Amino acid sequence: MNQLAYFFMLPGGTVLLFVIVFLLLPLVYVAATYNSLVQMRNQVRESWSGIDTELRRRYDLIPNLVETVRGYARHEQTVLEQVTQARTRAVASTGSPASQAADENVLVDSLRQLWAVAEGYPDLKASQNFLALQDELANTEDRIQAARRFYNGNVRELNTAIESFPSNLVAGMGSFPKAEFFEIQEAIAREAPTVKLS
């Protein structure tokens, strides 16, 4: 029998074994919790990059949309300028998710005004170029909302872990800040179809 096994068979050795296990378990828990928080934080960062990609896709579509509308609605210059300015501001916004959401909501409001202008021009609404851009923007909006839901789900999971006991103790020691949710409006309002029975 080796000496270590013999040592733990002694009455004092059993107590030492319990002391070692008692000290080791909290360290294992802290390490596992810390690694879990790091993984969740990285998932939040990765899911934010998905939002950023979709927002950039929207930014690339807007100049084409503005130019298409400009060809049909020349006297609607103020709305077109508002969209262009809001897009420029949103592209330049690189702050926190909350500050970026504020800039995105300004852009969404200006896009809604642009859709309202387009309603007054039947030739524009029938233009294949406009219809293709409208479909592409609607697809992009769907992708933005899906990326936003994924990001916010990861934020919720991280924030829950940061606020829950006892993982909040590890989060505090590791300086894990809560992440911000990303809340924006949809640029294209979805309306339920109206059914009329006669």
Q: Which residue has the higher pLDDT, 16 or 49?
A: 49
Distance set, CA 189 to CA 6, 47, 105, 161, 193 (Å): 76, 24, 13, 35, 12
Q: What is the torsional sign of CA 165, 170, 174, 179?
A: negative
pTM for this prediction: 0.80
pLDDT of residue 5: 58
What is the CATH classification number for the domain harbouring 96? Answer: 1.20.1440.20
Average the pLDDT over 67-76 and give the result. Answer: 85
How would residue 22 be classed by pLDDT, with cut points 50, 70 and 90?
confident
The residue-averaged pLDDT of 18-36 equals 89
pLDDT digit string (tens) for 171-197? 999 999 999 999 988 766 555 444 444
Report yes or no on 7 lying in a domain.
no
Instruction: Supply the DSSP symbol for 95.
Output: S
54 within some domain: yes
Q: Where are the alpha helices (DSSP H) in the chain?
A: 3-9, 11-72, 77-92, 97-119, 122-126, 128-163, 167-173
In a domain, residue 20? The reply is no
Whether 57 is in a domain gets the answer yes
Flag whether 45 is in a domain: yes
Token pair, residue 118, equals 């387009």
Residue 53 domain-assigned? yes
Residue 195 pLDDT = 45
Query: To the nearest whole number, what is the mean pLDDT of the chain?
Result: 87
CB 58, CB 138: distance < 8 Å = no
Token pair in block for residue 185: 């409006």
Percent of the chain with pLDDT strictly greater than 70: 86
pLDDT over threshold 80, residue 126 = yes
Owning domain of residue 126 = 27-173
Domains in the chain: how many in total? Answer: 1
Residue 94 in domain: yes
Residue of 116, 31, 28, 52 lying closest to 80 (CA atoms): 116
In a domain, 101, yes or no: yes
